[in-house]
Amino acid sequence: MRAKFSAAILGVAVFRMFLSTGATAAEPSKDDKVVKDGMVVSLEYTLIGDDGKVIESNKGKEPVKYIQGEKTGLPTGLEKELVGMKVGQEKHVRLENAYGTINPRAFQEIPKNQIPPNELKQIKVGSMVPLTAPNGETIGAPVSQIKDKSIVVNLNHPMAGKTLIFVVKVLDIQPAPPPQAAQPAEPAPPVKPPQAGR
């Protein structure tokens, strides 16, 4: 009788231990979340030039959110450096040509006769000229040179060719939402047959 009682207690203890370890394993802790492909990452950042001057920062503002691995705005080199980071971690990342090298073919000439005369009078080297992109979006391009019959605009990224320091802090990591499936079209209403005899 005593052996059966001890076996029953041992069985209950093992069962409880199994339940408690199973529950713990099923609940991912915040510490288990790391930056990896497919995760929505929220960042606080400060962007510093190679000269040590702050270019921009979002400290105290809305965090930057992006999906790791989808190449949606962050420099590729920065995304690679963030892999494996956890919530609360901070990192200083120095990247040469973070936004690419300067492409000489991205300097485009615009004939002066295509610019309204009143606007042409105001254009100087460094002025921003509004241009329409192929997708219809208006973008600003800086004037890099003024020639006799044209102006030259620089269509490179404003940070192209620069060495930049990113001071980043991971604020949150969440799984990306699943892609939404296309909704089926509404069925067409039934066609009424023509009425005869009218």
Domain residue ranges in the chain: 33-100+160-175, 104-154
- Model confidence band, residue 178 (pLDDT cutoffs 50, 70, 90): confident
Q: Tokens 């394993």 — which residue?
A: 25
Q: What mean pLDDT is predicted for residues 172-180?
A: 87
Please state which CATH number belongs to domain 104-154. Answer: 2.40.10.330
List the structure tokens of 17: 């231990």
- Average pLDDT on 82-93 reads 97
What distances in angstroms separate CA 126 from CA 51, 144, 145, 153, 196, one per listed residue?
20, 6, 8, 9, 75
Average confidence (pLDDT) over 131-144: 90
Residue 187 has pLDDT above 50, yes or no: yes
> Does the pTM of the predicted model rise above 0.75?
no
Other residues' Cβ atoms within 10 Å of the Cβ of residue 67: 16
Domain 33-100+160-175: give its CATH code. 3.10.50.40
What is the C-alpha separation between 42 and 89, in angstroms, rounded?
12
pLDDT (mean) for 167-194: 75
Instruction: Tell me the backbone φ, ψ of residue 92, rounded to 5 degrees.
Output: -105, 125
| pLDDT band per the 50, 70, 90 thresholds, residue 5 | very low
pLDDT at 1 over 60: no
- Residue 63 confidence class, pLDDT cut points 50, 70, 90: very high
Give CA–CA dist 115/110, Å, rounded. Answer: 8
Proportion of the chain above pLDDT 90, given as a percent: 58
pLDDT number for residue 64: 95
Angstrom distance (rounded) from CA 66 to CA 53: 25
pLDDT at 98 over 60: yes
Band (pLDDT 50/70/90 cuts) for residue 154 is very high
Q: Which of 13-27, 49-63, 65-79 has the lowest mean pLDDT?
A: 13-27
> What would the mean pLDDT of 93-101 be, rounded to a whole number?
94
Mean pLDDT value across the chain: 82
Rounded Cα distance between 122 and 180, Å, is 48
- The token pair that represents 176 in the structure block: 């990306």
Contact yes or no for 61/46 (Cβ under 8 A) = no
Q: Which two tokens stand for residue 115?
A: 């610019």
Read out DSSP for 55-114? Answer: EEE-TTSPPEEEETTS-SSS-HHHHHHHTT-BTT-EEEEEETTTT----GGGEEEEEGGG
